[in-house]
């Protein structure tokens, strides 16, 4: 299973870290942004984006 989905799992982890770092360093000053207002939202969004991005390059 890890051999089949290893790159996708790696993309999820890297995307989650990138999403949290985006929240931490850039974030949303007003608090009304849907994705970057809370760290969990940006982390989930980043992990989904990272997983999908890695899947583009797999057969």
Q: What are the distances in angstroms from CA 14 to CA 3, 30, 33, 53? A: 18, 27, 22, 11
- 7 close to 58: Cβ distance less than 8 angstroms: yes
Which tokens belong to 44? Answer: 């989930």
Render pLDDT for 2-59 as a digit per residue (tens, 0 to 9): 788 899 999 999 999 999 999 999 988 887 888 888 999 999 999 999 999 999 988 7
pLDDT given for residue 40 in this prediction: 95
pLDDT given for residue 34 in this prediction: 86
Q: What is the pTM of this model?
A: 0.86
Burial class (CB in 10 A: 0-12, 13-18, 19+), 15: buried
The rounded distance, in Å, linking the Cα atoms of 43 and 59 is: 26
């Amino acid at each position: 299973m890890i051999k089949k989905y290893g790159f996708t799992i790696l993309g999820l982890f890297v995307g989650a870290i990138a999403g949290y770092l985006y929240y931490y360093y850039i974030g949303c000053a007003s608090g009304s942004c849907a994705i970057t207002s809370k760290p969990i939202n940006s982390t989930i969004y980043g992990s989904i984006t990272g997983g999908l991005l890695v899947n583009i390059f797999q057969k």
